Amino acid sequence: YRSTSKTGTFSLVKTITSATKVSYINSGLSCGTTYYYKMRAYREVNGVMYFGSYTNVISRKAKPAKPTVTLSKYSSRKIKISWKQKAGASGYVIYRSTSKSGTYSKIKTITSGKTVKYINTKSKKGTRYYYKMRTYRTVNGTRVYSAYSSIKNKKL
């Protein structure tokens, strides 16, 4: 069951009839909106439905999908970062570090959701660079960010 308010009216989103299925992805939501969920088990015995108690209400904010990053050597001092366009994206933010678990610095904010590549020109030959990025969507003037992509690295 789902609602847009913790104490609001909850509507049935999905009935799962498989005893082996233990997850459900709720798609088609409005980015930036907080949704509230609760569920309950049921069992049918001789055509009669018996329902358990509702779970505690949990909430999650709908976020854009995270990007999948690809790196390639563009020249001896340049790395090409590319990704697949995400539907509804307002833009992307690219971060870089010189170690996988180090501090990442924002190197570029791409404000067009249609751009799918960036050439990082400020790189030193012989250095390994680690990149991650995230998608964002602007909702009512506020940026709502996706989770970070997986970290990719390339040595020049």
Successive 10-residue mean pLDDT values, the chain, 156 residues: 94 86 81 91 91 94 87 87 86 95 94 84 88 91 91 91
pTM of the entire predicted model? 0.74
How many CB atoms within 10 Å of residue 123? 20
Q: Which of 85, 72, 65, 88 is nearest to 123 (CA)?
A: 72
